[in-house]
Amino acid sequence: MTRAFLLACAALIAVPALSACGLQGKPQRPVPLWGNPPNEGAKDPRTLKIQKDKEDAEKARKKAEQEKARADRAAQEAQQPAQQPAPAAPATPPAPQ
């Protein structure tokens, strides 16, 4: 009696656990371990790295342009003669005569 009960309990536990094993859907061929595997598209790590490198290069180019423009402005300001400020008006108006 107890043996049959234990077997029934084991079967009830094993059936759902074993039925969930394995992959669902159409099997896919894995990427080769050596050689030059085909590109997997937009999600491929190599494609992502190339895209990130391009973005980093573009950021560096823009930063270099900004630094050059800033340096050009500073040089241009240094070459212009310094303008003297207009004389300050007196704080109090002159006394009427």
**Structural domain boundaries in the chain:** 43-76
Collapsed DSSP state (helix, strand, coil) of residue 23: coil
Percentage of residues of the chain with pLDDT beyond 70: 77
| Claim: this prediction has a pTM higher than 0.85 | no
How sure is the predictor about 58, in pLDDT bands with cuts at 50, 70 and 90?
very high
pLDDT digits (tens, 9 = 90+) for 4-24: 888 888 888 877 766 666 667
* Mean per-residue pLDDT of the chain: 81
| Separation between Cα atoms, residue 57 and residue 46, nearest integer Å | 17
Q: What share of the chain is helix, strand, coil (3-state, %, to 5)?
A: 55, 0, 45
Q: What is the pLDDT of residue 21?
A: 65
